[in-house]
Every structure is written in structure tokens, then in C-alpha cells.
């Protein structure tokens, strides 16, 4: 039987061992995560006075933990508003339970919650859009959801859009851009377009397993069904590849994300700058004649 370990701070039963050799109980682990997220938000100027933060809440672990942490970090800051936004893509057998979980956490925290659906905005569910094109489901879903999240955030009066991307998601995205040879994305300079609500990622320094443990320790995470389209995606393959790399060589994900940040800053001044226009169909900001969402919808029509 494994030897019982105790929290280095208070002596209670430990739930985890940190990289620095310290064991922590649930309470002190939660405080440590909260402090790290608070530091990420503060050091990167993610939230300012009078901000209205729309939190993209899928009902899954990352967005639920994000909402929970932001509600604690911002409690007492009366000039800041939090609104949770959930997109119902219309995936049979998957979305109902996660939407219920989203309702439950917003009810528990007393945060206003808006649900918008593909069916209501695009006139079709994701299931119907990808029928016969299931292998492209995540690409189609990602583009349409991103657009709807922007539109809904703007309608809500949000000044920032917070998403639950964690360190693993960031590392996966970097690798996927390389695997796709997507030089435009790899080198893209962050430019501010007045039509886009700026996105913030307060969990981007917290690993996936740390988010999961935080959710479990605080009783806000339970196993939910996985989207049926997730299995065949490139992201799922990259996730498996990265998990193995991290297991064999701890710190790999951190190094990918930090190395990429250094690469981008070393390219400073030598990267293509996006010139924004408005989509000829929907009027949303984009870099070509049509936005990606309208191009995709056109190709599926």
C-alpha cells in the first residue's frame, strides 16, 4: 500500500505532490492554483477596471473551473461584470448533459447565463451541417463556434471574452499549426480589431491534469460524455502524442509553449500583419472577402 502523504503546510492528508517536492492538501492546492491564475491575470493585464467578462462556458471541466476561479478572484470588485455564455452546437447525446452542468454551476455561483445555439443563429445544428463530412466536424464546429461566441459576447456588452484554454490546449495548438504547416498562424502578430472582443486565457499556465484535480477537489467537476466527433480529430492525436512526450520527458508542454512565445517575439517586426475588412455576407470582421464561417457555410450549402 502506498505511504500516506501529508500537506507540507498544514499536515492534513495530501492530494498532490508539486514539482518543487511539496505535498499539498485540497485546501492549500486550491489556494496555490487560485494564486497562480490571479498572477497570470494580473501580470498580463487581462482584466481592467469596469470590464465586462464573457466567460465561454461549455459545461466541461476547464470552463467550469475558469468560471469558478474568476468568480473568486473578482469577488468584491463591483465594477467588473461576469456573464457566462454557452454555445449549443446541436450534437445529439452530448450537449444536453454539459448544458445542464453549465446551468448548475452558474446557478450555484449566481452568475447570469446565456445559451445560444447553432440552430438559432445558423439555422442548422452541427449534426446536420456535418452529416457526410464527419471527419471535418471539429474544423467546422471550431470556426462556427468562435464566430457565434464573438457575436454573443458583443450582444451581451462584453469587453473581454475569457476561454478555458489550459497549458495542454496551448501546446496542442502550437504543434497543430506546425503539423499543418500553417505559417500564417505560426507567425501571426496579435493585432487588435475594434470588431473583435479581445480574448483572454487565464488558465493558460495551468496543466490539464491540474485543472481536473482542482475541479475534483472543489466538487465542481464530474465525468461528462465526450463529444462523439472528438475521437477522429487531429487534436485528439496530438493530445495523445503530447501526453506520451510529457510522460517520457516532463516539462515538454511548458517548453513548447514558452519556446513558441520566444520564437514569436524574436520575429517581431518581420511577421505578416492582418488587415481587417468586413465579411461580404454577414458583416463580421475578417481578413478576406468573406469570413471563415460564411465560407464554410457556403461550401456546405
Contact segment (CB under 6 A) with ligand SF4 among 136-144, 148-156, 173-181, 191-199 equals 136-144
- Is residue 109 within 8 A of residue 75, CB to CB? The reply is no
Task: Identify the DSSP state of 230.
Answer: G
Answer for which of 12, 245, 281, 300 binds Zn ion (CB under 5 A) is 281
**Residue 250 carries which DSSP code?**
T
Residues for the chain: how many in total? 301
142 binds ligand SF4 (CB under 6 A): yes
141 part of the interface to ligand SF4, by CB under 6 A: yes
Any contact of residue 143 with Zn ion (CB under 5 A)?
no
**Could you say which of 176, 216, 224, 230 contacts ligand SF4 (CB under 6 A)?**
230
296 sits near ligand SF4 (criterion: CB under 6 A): no
Cell readout for 210 is: 491540474
Site string for ligand SF4, 73-112 (x = CB under 6 A): ----------------x-----------------------
Spatial distance between the Cα atoms of 59 and 274, rounded to a whole number of angstroms: 33
69 Cα distance to chain centroid: 14
Select the residue interacting with Zn ion from 74, 82, 206, 291 (CB under 5 A). 291
116 and 108 in contact (C-beta within 8 Å)?
no
Contact between 68 and ligand SF4 (CB under 6 A)?
Answer: no
| Smallest distance from ligand SF4 to CB 114, Å | 18
Longest CA–CA span in the chain (Å) reads: 65
**Euclidean distance between CA atoms 81 and 55, whole angstroms:** 10
Positions touching ligand SF4 (CB under 6 A) are 89, 137-138, 141-142, 227, 229-230, 233
Amino acid at each position: 500500500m502506498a505511504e500516506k502523504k501529508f500537506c507540507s503546510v498544514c499536515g492534513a492528508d495530501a492530494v498532490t505532490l508539486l514539482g518543487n517536492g511539496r505535498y499539498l492538501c485540497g485546501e492549500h492546492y486550491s489556494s496555490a492554483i487560485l494564486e497562480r491564475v490571479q498572477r497570470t491575470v494580473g501580470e498580463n493585464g487581462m482584466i481592467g477596471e469596469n470590464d465586462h467578462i464573457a466567460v465561454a462556458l461549455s459545461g466541461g471541466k476547464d470552463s467550469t473551473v475558469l468560471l469558478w476561479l474568476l468568480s473568486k478572484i473578482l469577488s468584491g470588485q463591483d465594477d467588473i461584470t461576469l456573464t457566462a455564455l454557452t454555445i449549443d452546437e446541436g450534437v445529439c447525446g452530448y450537449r444536453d448533459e454539459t448544458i445542464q452542468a453549465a446551468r448548475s454551476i452558474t446557478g450555484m455561483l449566481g452568475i447570469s447565463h446565456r445559451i445560444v445555439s447553432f440552430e438559432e443563429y445558423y439555422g442548422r445544428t452541427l449534426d446536420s451541417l456535418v452529416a457526410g463530412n464527419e471527419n471535418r466536424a471539429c474544423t467546422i464546429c471550431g470556426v462556427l463556434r468562435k464566430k457565434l461566441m464573438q457575436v454573443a459576447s458583443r450582444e451581451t456588452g462584453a469587453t473581454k471574452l475569457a476561454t478555458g484554454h489550459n497549458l495542454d490546449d496551448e501546446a496542442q495548438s502550437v504543434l497543430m499549426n506546425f503539423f499543418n504547416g500553417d505559417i500564417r498562424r505560426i507567425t501571426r502578430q496579435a493585432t487588435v480589431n475594434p470588431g473583435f472582443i479581445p480574448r483572454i486565457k487565464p488558465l493558460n499556465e495551468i496543466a490539464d491534469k491540474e485543472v481536473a484535480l482542482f475541479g475534483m477537489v472543489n466538487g465542481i467537476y464530474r465525468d461528462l460524455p465526450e463529444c462523439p466527433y472528438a475521437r477522429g480529430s487531429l487534436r485528439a492525436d496530438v493530445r495523445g502524442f503530447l501526453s506520451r512526450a510529457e510522460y517520457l520527458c516532463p516539462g515538454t508542454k511548458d517548453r513548447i509553449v514558452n519556446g513558441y512565445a520566444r520564437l514569436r517575439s524574436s520575429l517581431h517586426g518581420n511577421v505578416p500583419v492582418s488587415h481587417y475588412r468586413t465579411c461580404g455576407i454577414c458583416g463580421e470582421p475578417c481578413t478576406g472577402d468573406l469570413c471563415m464561417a460564411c465560407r464554410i457555410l457556403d461550401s456546405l450549402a
